[in-house]
Amino acid sequence: MSDLLPPVSDRAGFQGELDELRVREKAHSREADAIAAARRRLPMVEVDAGITVTGAEGPVTLLETFEGRKQLIAYYYMWHDGHPAAEQCPGCTWCNGAVGELSYLHSRDITYAVFCQGPYDESRRYRDFMGWTMPWYSSIDSRDKLLEGRNLGQMYLVCYLRDGDRVFETYWTTLRGVEVMDNGYHLMDLTVYGRQEGHEDSPAGWPQEWAKAEHILKADGRPIAQWSRIEAGRPDKL
């Protein structure tokens, strides 16, 4: 950790500069609200509601994955077939691992589910190793239809709307767009040293230890979140 520290100020000086920053933060919040409003006004495209994914009881339709709710958010999890748990996607482990309490989504008539791009049995064992409880499906045999026009094998967050027995896609994002799922990075961004990654604009000499890491979401050869599961004695054999 660097010995470099921010300059020290009295309370009035600190509050004055924070007040200036708050103006920008509020503008950022208002712009985020405006973007969300524009998102709600996007057109939608119909998707075959009968496309199947594989769940615990076998094939189910896209319509069935809504679990009777009006909307569905599906996370298309990257998967490395035949690889051990330690070599599974650290980014998807990070994103999906941040999704815990689903009741708030359910209260707005939204279902959250994972559509893993790998085989069901193998990837479900990973879900159980991680201790996740959200609905889990394999989209390996249908992802070419569900992700039409997009690169397969990449992480995606896709939103759907149900109108009776018809299903429509209303929004999707990928890459840094999926950061919306995480709270860890957003909390790090509030701290003086931030994410400590090389891409950040920080004062010269600020600690950026994670710029040197093998992967910004891995430690000692595994996705960071796996270590607590290993220490708890959970089997990670897939």
Tens-of-pLDDT digits for all 238 residues of the chain? 447 899 999 999 999 999 999 999 999 999 999 999 999 999 999 999 999 999 999 999 999 999 999 999 999 999 999 999 999 999 999 999 999 899 999 999 999 999 999 999 999 999 999 999 999 999 999 999 999 999 999 999 999 999 999 999 999 999 999 999 999 999 999 999 999 998 899 998 898 889 888 899 999 999 999 999 999 999 999 9
Report the pLDDT value the prediction gives residue 1, as an integer from 0 to 100.
45
pLDDT at 211: 87
Query: What pairs with residue 115 in β-bridges?
Result: 137
- Cα-Cα-Cα-Cα torsion 141, 144, 146, 151, nearest 10 degrees, comes to 130
**Per-residue CA distances from 148 to 37, 46, 159, 172 (Å):** 25, 12, 14, 12
- CA distances for 81 relative to 116, 118, 155, angstroms: 11, 6, 15
Alpha-carbon gap, residue 159 to 106, rounded angstroms = 14
* pLDDT for the residue numbered 2: 47
- Its pTM stands at 0.93
Measured distance CA(61)–CA(113) in Å, rounded = 13
**Which tokens hold the place of 37?**
């409003």
